[in-house]
Amino acid sequence: MKAVALAALGLLAALAGPLAMAQDKPVHQSPADPQTRYQNADASPLVNEPMYQSTNPKAPPMTQAEFELGRKTYFERCAGCHGVLRKGATGKPLTPDITLGKGTDYLKVFISYGSPAGMPNWLTSGELDEKTVDIMARYIQQEPPLPPEWGMEDMKKSWKVVIPPEQRPTKKMNRYNLANIFSTTLRDAGEIALIDGDTKQIINVIKTGYAVHISRMSASGRYLFVIGRDAKINMIDLWMAQPDTVAEIRVGLEARSVDTSKYKGYEDTYAIAGSYWPPQYTIMKGDTLEPLKIVSTRGMTVDKQEYHPEPRVASIVASHFKPEFVVNVKETGKTLLVDYSNLDALKTTEIGTARFLHDGGLDSTHRYFLVAANQSNKIAAIDLKEGKLVKLIDVGKIPHPGRGANFVHPKYGPVWATGHLGDESIALIGTDPAKHPQYAWKMVDSLKSQGGGSLFIKSHPKSHHLYVDNPLNPDPAISHSVAVYDIDHLDKGFTVLPIAEWTGISDGGAMRVVQPEFNVAGDEVWFSVWSAKDKQSAIVVVDDKTLKLKAVIKDPRLITPTGHFNVNNTQHDIY
Q: Return the active site residues.
A: 78, 81-82, 119, 358, 400
- Residues 251 and 274: their CA atoms lie apart, in Å, by 8
Looking only at the bridges linking them, the beta strands covering 425-430 and 405-409 are: unpaired
Nearest Cα to Cα of residue 424 among 477, 473, 369: 473
Nearest Cα to Cα of residue 106 among 181, 237, 12, 215: 12
Q: Is the peptide bond before 278 cis (omega within 30 degrees of 0)?
A: yes
- 29 bridge partner residues: 120
- Residues 189 and 457: their CA atoms lie apart, in Å, by 25
- Residues 243 and 223: their CA atoms lie apart, in Å, by 9
Q: Is 88 left (phi over 0), alpha (psi -120 to 50) or beta?
A: left
Dihedral of the alpha carbons of 237, 241, 245, 247, in degrees to the nearest 10: -60
- Residues 130 and 173: their CA atoms lie apart, in Å, by 60
* 162 touches 247 (CB < 8 A): yes
* 559 touches 188 (CB < 8 A): yes
- Residues 122 and 105: their CA atoms lie apart, in Å, by 15
Q: Give the type of residue at 136.
A: M
* Packing angle, helices 9-16 and 103-113, rounded to 10: 70
Percent of the chain that is helix, strand, coil (3-state, to 5)? 20, 35, 45
